[in-house]
């Protein structure tokens, strides 16, 4: 029972109140230190974002908020999320149009996310090796790197154990053509080539799906 899943997926039976409580405490400390105003509304929105490890849409938050405050409207939520994101307390998941709590808000960073397509839970990585690979590759194209959007779909450990497959499509599932990454291919393949020449809808990589 890991209380604070800073990296990786939390155990299914973990005590999630610890996650929420700690997130709120850290947020309060961070805002106080910076002179930023963590108002009741913003605090409540952060708490809702932290109601699980699955990302929440702005309108999901709004639905709850409407039951608690008269006059809650889309700007209410978006402004709060704006503040929280500016403080590094939440991240937006672009591929889902959703928001998750940041697992390490003390450090400024773009997020790197693992998104389980079976249970919907999300883990944050922030692995410097990924940033390094991106920076190096971008540098070869003469590109100076700013914000990174790194969102990886797949299966979390729990869902793999239970042999669960993907449940429901991601939004705007325009695109069938992406093969999964194989566990480890032989080094020295030509750059750019990821898998064989199989047609897009086949789930086959070069050894594992």
Partner DNA sequence: CTTGATACGATATAACATAACATAATTGGA
Partner DNA sequence: TCCAATTATGTTATGTTATATCGTATCAAG
Window 57 to 116, contacts with Zn ion (CB under 5 A): 102, 111
Contact letters for its own copies, residues 49-88 (x by CB under 8 A)? -----------------------------x--xx--xxxx
Q: What is the CA radius of gyration of the chain?
A: 19
> In this chain, which of 69, 94, 162, 167 binds its own copies, going by CB under 8 A?
94
How large is the angle between the packed helices 40-49 and 58-66, nearest 10 degrees?
A: 120
Q: How many residues bind DNA (CB under 7 A)?
A: 26
Is the Cβ–Cβ distance between 89 and 99 less than 8 Å?
no
Provide, rounded to whole angstroms, the least separation between the CB of residue 18 and its own copies: 19
Lookup: tokens for 31:
């805002």
Q: Scanning residues 71 to 100, which ones bind DNA (CB under 7 A)?
A: 71-76, 78-80, 83, 97
Q: How far apart are the first and last CA of the chain?
A: 30
16 binds Zn ion (CB under 5 A): yes
Tokens 């109601």 appear where?
51
Lookup: tokens for 170:
């991601």
Contact letters for its own copies, residues 126-155 (x by CB under 8 A)? xxxxxxxxxxxxxxxxxxxxxxxxxxxxxx
């Amino acid at each position: 029972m890991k209380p604070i899943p800073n990296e990786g997926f939390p155990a299914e039976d973990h005590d999630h109140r610890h996650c929420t409580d700690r997130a709120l405490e850290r947020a309060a400390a961070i805002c106080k230190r910076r002179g930023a105003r963590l108002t009741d509304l913003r605090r409540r929105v952060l708490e809702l974002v932290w109601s699980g490890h699955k990302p929440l849409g702005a309108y999901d938050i709004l639905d709850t908020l409407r039951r608690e405050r008269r006059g809650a409207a889309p700007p209410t939520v978006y402004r709060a999320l704006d503040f929280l994101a500016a403080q590094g307390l939440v991240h937006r998941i672009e591929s889902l149009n959703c928001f998750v709590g940041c697992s390490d808000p003390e450090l400024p960073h773009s997020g790197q996310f693992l998104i389980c397509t079976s249970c919907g839970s999300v883990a944050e990585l922030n692995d410097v090796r990924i940033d390094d690979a991106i920076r190096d590759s971008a540098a070869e194209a003469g590109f100076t790197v700013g914000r990174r959007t790194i969102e990886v779909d797949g299966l979390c450990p729990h869902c793999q154990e239970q042999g669960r497959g993907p449940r429901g499509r991601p939004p705007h599932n325009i695109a069938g053509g992406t093969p999964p990454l194989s566990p480890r291919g032989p080094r020295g393949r030509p750059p750019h080539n990821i898998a064989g020449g199989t047609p897009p809808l086949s789930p086959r990589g070069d050894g594992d799906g």
